Structures are given as structure tokens and as C-alpha cells.
């Protein structure tokens, strides 16, 4: 897989919407949160939303459904072609979330999902740009990869016994994720994807605070479900027994998403934050 995110996601464009079990669960819970947490206040003027890293338009379509005037940006021309077919009512442009092509304080809401911030080289710049375009009091919903998950353990264990789970790393590479300061994120290689960043909650709080954003709520996804290694769930389909186990784990994972236990070892963090007023 190419290391450049734009090239890598262009190559995925044709099959991007064919969701593996991992993504079926992630988007089911995530999109429930978008609808529940981000609906505009009744009777207000039509607010404007930005989908930063819009991909094929999963979240863009929901923002339109909720009544937002919606714009979106993505590096990948291939993903944007799919998004334009899905979201005819949105203005979608090719661009970089580290240098957003909008003026200061022009949107009421930003969503950045699909682990977008985990793939950008400078997530601090991307978060600063998101804060720049938000109006005071505006909100942002971020979904990112989390460092402290069971997948690090699966990755290490697999590397130590010949890599039967196909994480494609050596034991030394797998152990490196445990060796850095525990409160900081790490960069990691994952099969089939560009290099990505795994964040800690403390790191995210610092990046948000530096940009003038204040965390409101956090959810954790793929904590309990990561009892099954992620490389198993990144397959087109599961066997009958594994599928039955996964369905039960999905229900428990969704129920625990907003709890401390659900966040502790989640593979993905969903963070709702707000921009401080003047």
C-alpha cells in the first residue's frame, strides 16, 4: 500500500463503501452519535457544517439529512467522485485538512471521522485549522485511532509466534508501541493502510486546548469487540461462529461506548468538543 494518503485512498475508492465487519460496527455507532448529538436546534437559522476528510460522503449525507448547509474536503479525488454522486446537495472540494480553504469563523460545526486526523502528517495543524474556521461556540466531532487498545497486544503476540494474524510487523516493531511515554501517541504501520497515528486522550486534550477547543464528551468504540483481533474483522465476512460472537460483542460495545470502561481500551475514540466564545 502506498504511504501517501491521497494515492492510497484513491486506490481504495472503488471498494471503499464495501464495509467489512469492523467498519459496519464503527459506522453504525458513530452515525447514531452524529444524529443524536449534532442535530441543529429547532427554529434556528440554517447552520453550516464542514466534513473535514469527507471520504465518500458517509457523514456528509447525514449532515445534509439533519438540515445543515454542508461543505466537505478530502485529499482523494477518487473518494470525492463517489461522494459527489451520493451528496448532490453539498459543496465538495479537493484539499488538505491542514490548510482548509475557508475563511475564519465561517462554519458552525465540523466533523472529522474515518480516522482522518490519524492519517495527516501534522494533526496539530489540522486541529488548529478546524478551530480557525469554527465560529465561537461552534462544535467539532472527531473520530481518531486510540493508542491503548487490545490490538497492540494482539499485534505483539502475533509477531512473536510467526504472525498468524497478519499484522506484518516484527516483534521489535510491535514492542516499540509500548516503549514510548505512555501519555503520548505513536505512529504505527497497519497492513493495507498508510502510516497512522494512535492518539492518547491526554494528547488529544492538549491539542484541542492549544487550538482553543474544549472537550465536552468522549466515547470509545471497538473496545469489547477487539477481543477479536482487528485483522480478523477487516475481512469481507466472518465465519458462522465468529460472526455470532461478534454480534453479541457489538451490542455490549455499543452499550459501553460512553462509559469509562468502554473508553479505556477502545480502538477508536470519538470526541465532541466546542470552541470557546469570545
pLDDT of residue 181: 85
The total of other beta-carbon atoms located within 10 Å of residue 122's CB is 12
Cα separation, 37 vs 167, in Å, equals 35
Angle at alpha carbon of residue 116, lines to 114 and 119, rounded to 5°: 125
Please give the pLDDT value at position 209. Answer: 97
DSSP code of residue 39:
P
DSSP string spanning 80-149? HHHHHHH-TTSEEEE--TTS-SS-TT-EEEEEE-TTHHHHSS-HHHHHHHHHHHEEEEEEEEEEEEBSSS
| Closest residue by Cα to residue 267 from 165, 147, 112, 159 | 147
Query: How far is the C-alpha of 198 from the C-alpha of 191, rounded, in Å?
Result: 15
What lies within 8 Å, CB to CB, of 105 at 6+ separation is 132, 133, 134, 135, 136
* CATH of range 5-147+187-275; options 3.40.50.300, 3.40.50.150, 3.30.1360.170, 3.40.50.170: 3.40.50.150
Mean pLDDT for back-to-back runs of 10 residues, the chain (278 residues):
79 92 97 96 88 97 97 97 96 97 97 97 97 97 96 97 96 89 92 94 97 97 97 95 97 97 96 90
Position 2 scores a pLDDT of: 47
Cα–Cα dist 186/184, whole Å: 7
Residue 245's pLDDT is 97
Q: Where are the domains of the chain?
A: 5-147+187-275
Q: Exposure string (b/e) for 3-36, b if CB count within 10 Å is 16 or more?
A: eebbebbbebbeebeeebbbbebbbebbeebbee
Euclidean distance between CA atoms 148 and 182, whole angstroms: 9
Amino acid at each position: 500500500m502506498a504511504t501517501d494518503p491521497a494515492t492510497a485512498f484513491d486506490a481504495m475508492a472503488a471498494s471503499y463503501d464495501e464495509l467489512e465487519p469492523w467498519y459496519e460496527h464503527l459506522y453504525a455507532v458513530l452515525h447514531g452519535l452524529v444524529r443524536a448529538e449534532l442535530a441543529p436546534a429547532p427554529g434556528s437559522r440554517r447552520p453550516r457544517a464542514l466534513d473535514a476528510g469527507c471520504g465518500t460522503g458517509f457523514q456528509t449525507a447525514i449532515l445534509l439529512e439533519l438540515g445543515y448547509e454542508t461543505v466537505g474536503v478530502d485529499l482523494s479525488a477518487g473518494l470525492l467522485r463517489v461522494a459527489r454522486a451520493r451528496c448532490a446537495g453539498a459543496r465538495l472540494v479537493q484539499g488538505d485538512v491542514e490548510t482548509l480553504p475557508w475563511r475564519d469563523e465561517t462554519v458552525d460545526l465540523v466533523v472529522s471521522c474515518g480516522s482522518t486526523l490519524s492519517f495527516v502528517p501534522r494533526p496539530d495543524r489540522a486541529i488548529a485549522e478546524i478551530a480557525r474556521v469554527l465560529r465561537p461556540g461552534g462544535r467539532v466531532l472527531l473520530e481518531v485511532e486510540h493508542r491503548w487498545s487490545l490490538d497492540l497486544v494482539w499485534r505483539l503476540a502475533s509477531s512473536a509466534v510467526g504472525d498468524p494474524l497478519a499484522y506484518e510487523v516484527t516483534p521489535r516493531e510491535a514492542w516499540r508501541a509500548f516503549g514510548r511515554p505512555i501519555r503520548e501517541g505513536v505512529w504505527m504501520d497497519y497492513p493495507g493502510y498508510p502510516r497512522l497515528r494512535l492518539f492518547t486522550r491526554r494528547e488529544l486534550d492538549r491539542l484541542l486546548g492549544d487550538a482553543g477547543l474544549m472537550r465536552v464528551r468522549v466515547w470509545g468504540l471497538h473496545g469489547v469487540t477487539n477481543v477479536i483481533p482487528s485483522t480478523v474483522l477487516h475481512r469481507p465476512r466472518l465465519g458462522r461462529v465468529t460472526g455470532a460472537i461478534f454480534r453479541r460483542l457489538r451490542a455490549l460495545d455499543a452499550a459501553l461506548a460512553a462509559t469509562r470502561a468502554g473508553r479505556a481500551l477502545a480502538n477508536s475514540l470519538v470526541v465532541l468538543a466546542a470552541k470557546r466564545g469570545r
